[in-house]
Amino acid sequence: MILAIKDLIRPMHLHLSDAGKFLQGTLPNFFAATGLTCIIFSSIKSLQLFPNKQNAIIIYGTSLFVFAGLTLWEFVRFWFGQIPIDYYDILMTLFGCVLTVIFLMALTKEPKQINA
């Protein structure tokens, strides 16, 4: 999806609305945040190194790691003179990480025991 936006849709210079241009510029960061968080979390869980009670720690840690990495990448590109810092990309990365945390926490929530 990210490559399709970057390599196919952006070069077409479509006549988009302001909202469309905004989403076209920031959605790759949203998908990177959600995708990387899910991939790293599922990789850690597949190794079964941690008990299920530590899911929250793994989810929050993974999301924080992904957010820090993608935010640092924005600054690295600025320091090397490629582009100015895009604060909307950072906000969309944060939004993607927060939504992924909510989704993964709901997905891994332990069902409550019913005492009969």
Q: What's the pLDDT score for residue 13?
A: 61
Per-residue pLDDT of the chain (116 residues; tens, 9 = 90+): 555 555 665 556 666 677 777 777 778 888 888 988 888 888 888 877 777 778 888 889 999 999 999 999 889 888 888 788 888 889 999 999 999 999 988 888 877 777 75
CA distance 56 to 54: 5
| H and E: helices and strands count for the chain | 4, 0
Nearest CA to 90 out of 38, 25, 44 is that of 25
- In order of 8, 33, 78, the CA distances from 83 in angstroms are 20, 20, 5
pTM confidence score: 0.75
Report whether 26 contacts 88 (CB < 8 A): yes
Could you tell me which of 101, 93, 94 has the C-alpha nearest to residue 25?
93
